[in-house]
Each structure stands twice: as C-alpha cells, then as structure tokens.
Amino acid sequence: MKGRRLLIIDDDPEVRYTLRAALARDGLQIDEAETGAAGLERLDGESYDFVLLDHRLPDIEGLDLVPDIRRRQPNVLVVMMTAYGTRKTAVEAIRRGAYDFFTKPIKLDELRVVMARALERRQLVRESGKLRTRRASEAAFGGLIGKSAAMHGVFDTLTKVVEADTTVLILGESGTGKELVAEAVHSKSRRRDGPFVKLNCVAIPETLLESELFGHEKGAFTGAHDRKVGKFELANGGTILLDEIGDMSLDTQAKILRVLQEREFERVGGTAPVNVDVRIVAATNRDLVQDVREGRFREDLYFRLNVVTVRLPPLRERPVDIPLLAEHFMQEFAEHQGKSLERISPGALDAMCEFQWPGNVRQLRHAIERAVIWSEGDELGADDLPTEVLSGSIVAASALRTGTDDSLPDTMERIERRILIDTLRGAGGVQATAARRLGISERSMWHKVKKHGIDIDRLKG
C-alpha cells in the first residue's frame, strides 16, 4: 500500500491520531479533516485512493457525504466508520457508494485486509475498462467472452479442437456456457455451413427420445402416422449437440454408443441402416466419472465421448471475467431497452465480484438485465442490482471480519442462511422464485429451507 493516499475525515482527534500512527507504517500518505466541509475541500485539491469517513460529523451525517465524495472522485474507495453499527446503516452506506463499513473501535488488521483487497479489485475494474477495446481479438472465442487464465485455457483447447473434427465433451456447472461452447465448436469448424442440431436429453420423455434421435418409420408405433426424420439425420454433414447427456437412460446410451462407433443406426420400426456424417458434441453438468463408478453411465460411452474434454470453470473461480461479462451484458440490454448506459459503478462491480454466482454466467446475465431495467442515468449503480447480489456481498464482507472463532463450515452455513433469507424475503416468500434467482433447483431450495429451519410464512408479504 506504499504511496497510496488516504484521507481521514473524523472530528475525534484521538481516532485520527491512532489511525494515522498505525497506517503510516504501511507507507500510506495520510491527510486529515475534522469536518465534512474540510474533507470535501481536501478532495477538491488532491486525489485519494481511500477515504476513512466517520458516521457522525459536526456539520453533516457521514452517510450524506458519501455521494458528494464519489462525485468528486468516482474511483475513491470510501470506508465508513461508526460507533452505531447497524446492518441498516451498512446497507445504506454501500447503496450510496461506500465500499465498506467498519464499527469502532476499528480492528486495524481487518481494515488492512479490506483496503488491500479493494485496491486489487479496483485494478481489476480498470483493466476491464482497458480491455473493452481489445476484447474482440483477445478475450473472446465465438460468442464466449473471458480473459481469465481458465477461459484462455478453454479457448486454446477450442482452437485446437475446431479443426480436428473429433467428438467433444463439455463439462461444467449449470450456466457456465456449455451450449455456447458447442455453438462455437460448430461455427468455427469446417462443418460451419452444415446444420447445427441441438437435442436436450432431459426435455424429452424417455419413450419419445429414441424416435427423436433416430426418427421412425410410418406405423412404427401407435400414433406414428408418418415417417419422421430424427435429429441425427437432420444433423447430417453438420454437428449435433447432445445436451444433458448425463441424464440419458442406459438404454439410450447403448444406442448412442453404436452411432459413435459405426456412424449408423436404424429408424424406430425400420430395418435398413441409415448412415450419417455427424460430429457429436455432448454436454452435461453431472460428474460423469462418478456416474460411471456408480453404474449410471456406460464406461465405454464415456471413453468414446471423452476424446477431447472442455471443462468450464464456475464463474466464482474466475472473478476477473465478471466485469468483462457484466459490461458486455449491460451494453447488450441497454441497446435492447433503449437506455443510454455508459458504465457500471465501482460499487456495483465490487458487489458483483464478491458474489458467488451459484447460477454462473446465466445468473449474472439475468441480474444485469434486471439492473438495466431499474437503472437511471448513464451509470449502472449498486442499488440497481438484485438484492441477493448486494446482500451477498455485504454478508461476505462482514463475515470476513467477525473475528469470531467459528469454523469455516459454520461460517459458510451462516452466510448461506443469510442469503437464503434475504432472497426469500425479496421473493415474497415464494420458494420457486427465490430458487430461480439463486440459480438452484426448487428441490434444493426446499431442502435448504428445511435444513436451516427457515420460517417461510414470516417472510411472506
């Protein structure tokens, strides 16, 4: 933190002295102001990295000063200090553009951690701004965007794979971009002028899946009035995406295996083999190795599919991609909704970078879509974000410095419970809605509500 500039705005000389004495040792250059007005004057003359702001000042409430500070120096990181630490004030401070919130007496080690992290994150935000112009060439592959090391690894694999015409297996949590990868594999390959056919294996009842894949002859079963061409035939000369392949029955798996081995199959109710030239791309969010071990997935099919594997990392493991994706989606939706948004506020980016995104990129995209609807003016602010994103970030920030001896699992439980309650409240107690916002299934929401003993009725209305 050497050479960074800090402004302390507090009327209590003792607080100023203690903070200065401690933080000067980190190499920070420190100025002081006793009142809000004096603080603003300082900010007019000098540029700062941090402002430590007291909640109660002689001339103004600290909260009310935050927007003025941010207007003068949009990139400055404002940390509020108060003796009256309530959650409500914390939320309000962050809504108005503060970066974080501390209760007096300030725990200096925690303050240092928060400041160091804030600097890192600001760096990240700046880099993403620079990247905007270079993005087209370096941080994208097909429709995929990303500049993290992990995504560059994915792009490298894809570059090799597109020309090879092999089978590709795409793995990753829900919402990580598997379908987009499949599209990129097709559109960059020599098959690009051929058809790209998608089949979602779970969306189709097992009884119909076979005829959907392979087609059927007229009269093959009751209701088969006409001959039907299956997806494999439709994809001839192109690519087929077998989505959610981990959810396919063992029966269907055997039939797919045959197509992979022999490039031929029969229509349901037919006898003549049909030959096809199709590249197979398969995707799943399941752990196929585990499924093989437990007998739910055929090992031979797994090896056939697993010629090249593309693993998409969850969004929470590549936070540097978040600003990039957020800006991309903001531009997309701003254009769509006819809004003249120019940028995302640093506070909003901070909250997004701290959030865990259980629903990955899809959830981020939805969050931005909603935020664009709420936004006014040319900046998308933290208070435009869905509450679950915002409260998640405050929860994470406060958990960092509780200073208790709770174990990690206990802390995680507490945070999970908090997020669930906040989201459920925001959703008026409707579990299905809350589940969707958090990117988890209704079933898993139900389990979690039960596990945490959350009283849904109290969250309604």
Ligand X SMILES: Nc1ncnc2c1ncn2[C@@H]1O[C@H](COP(=O)(O)OP(=O)(O)OP(=O)(O)O)[C@@H](O)[C@H]1O
* Residue ranges binding ligand X (CB under 6 A): 143-146, 172, 174-180, 285, 325, 361-362, 365
Is the Cβ of residue 158 or residue 382 nearer to Mg ion in the bound state? 158
Nearer Cβ to ligand X (145/380): 145
Which residue has its beta carbon closest to ligand X?
177
DSSP, collapsed to helix, strand or coil, labels residue 263 as coil
DSSP category for residue 460? -
The region of 173-181, 302-310, 328-336, 339-347 touching Mg ion under the rule CB under 5 A is 173-181
CB of 221 to ligand X, least distance (A): 30
The DSSP symbol for 268 reads B
Q: C-alpha distances in angstroms, 243 versus 115, 117, 278, 292, 426? A: 44, 39, 15, 18, 33
Q: Smaller CB distance to ligand X: residue 202 or 208?
A: 202
Minimum gap (Å) between residue 329 Cβ and ligand X: 8
Burial 345-376 (b: 16+ CB within 10 A, else e): bbbbbbbbbbbbbbbbbbbbbbbbebbbeebe
CB of 433 to ligand X, least distance (A): 18
Among Mg ion, ligand X, none, residue 43 binds (CB under 5-8 Å by kind) = none
- CB of 157 vs ligand X, minimal distance in Å: 14
Which lies closer to ligand X via its Cβ, residue 152 or residue 362? Answer: 362
- Give the separation between CA 100 and CA 53, rounded to whole angstroms: 10
Q: What is the SS3 assignment for 198?
A: strand
Least distance to ligand X from the beta carbon of 153, Å?
13
The partner in contact with residue 423, picked from ligand X, Mg ion, none with C-beta cut-offs of 5 to 8 angstroms by kind, is none
Are the C-beta atoms of residues 241 and 189 closer than 8 Å to each other? no
- List phi, psi (to 5°) of 111: -60, -40
Of these partners, ligand X, Mg ion, none, which one is at the site of residue 144 (CB under 5 to 8 Å by kind)?
ligand X
Q: How far is the CB of 441 from ligand X (least distance, A)?
A: 11
Q: Which of 32, 34, 100, 179 binds Mg ion (CB under 5 A)?
A: 179
Q: How far apart are CA 157 and CA 151, in angstroms?
A: 10
Query: With respect to Mg ion, which residue has the nearer C-beta, 242 or 382?
Result: 242
**With respect to Mg ion, which residue has the nearer C-beta, 184 or 320?**
184
Q: Which span sits near Mg ion by CB under 5 A: 45-53, 178-186, 261-269, 338-346?
A: 178-186
Minimum CB distance to Mg ion smaller for 122 or for 279: 279
In the complex with ligand X, which residue's Cβ is closer, 142 or 269?
142
Half-sphere exposure for 410 (CA within 13 Å, toward CB) = 5
Q: Is the CB of residue 325 less than 8 Å from the CB of residue 364?
A: yes
For residue 264, the SS3 value is: strand
Least distance to Mg ion, CB of residue 171, Å: 12
Q: Which is nearer to ligand X, 183 or 350 (CB)?
A: 183
In the complex, minimum distance from the CB of residue 390 to Mg ion, in angstroms, rounded to a whole number: 27
Smallest distance from the beta carbon of 45 to Mg ion, in angstroms?
A: 54
Residue 246 interacts, among ligand X, Mg ion, none and using kind-specific CB cut-offs from 5 to 8 Å, with: none
Beta strand 228-229 pairing with 215-216: antiparallel
177 binds, among ligand X, Mg ion, none (CB under 5 to 8 A by kind): ligand X
When the beta carbons of 121 and 178 are compared against Mg ion, the nearer one is 178
Determine the 3-state secondary structure of 1 from DSSP: coil
Task: Record the tokens describing residue 224, joined without a space.
Answer: 């088969």
Question: What residue is closest to Mg ion based on CB?
Answer: 179
Closest separation in Å from C-beta 201 to ligand X: 11
In whole angstroms, how large is the CA radius of gyration of the chain?
A: 27
| 176 contact, one of Mg ion, ligand X, none, CB 5-8 Å limit per kind | ligand X
174 interface partner picked from ligand X, Mg ion, none, CB below 5 to 8 A per type = ligand X
The values of phi and psi at residue 418, to 5°, are -55, -50
Find, among 79, 83, 85, 88, the residue nearest to 110 by Cα: 79
Binding piece for Mg ion, criterion CB under 5 A, among 174-182, 331-339, 394-402, 427-435 = 174-182
Q: How near is the Cβ of 227 to ligand X at its closest, in Å?
A: 31
Q: Give the DSSP letter of residue 12.
A: -
Contact 144, 159 (CB under 8 A): no
Burial (0-12, 13-18, 19+ Cβ within 10 Å), 277? exposed
Q: Is 141 helix (H, G, I), strand (E, B) or coil?
A: strand
- Which of Mg ion, ligand X, none does residue 49 bind to, with CB < 5 to 8 Å depending on kind? none
**Position 173 contacts Mg ion (CB under 5 A):** no
Beta strand 308-312 with 168-172: parallel, antiparallel or unpaired? parallel
Residues in contact with Mg ion, counted by CB under 5 A, come to a total of 2
In terms of Cβ atoms closer than 10 Å to its own Cβ (0-12, 13-18, 19+), residue 77 is: buried
Which residues form the interface with Mg ion (CB under 5 A)? 178-179
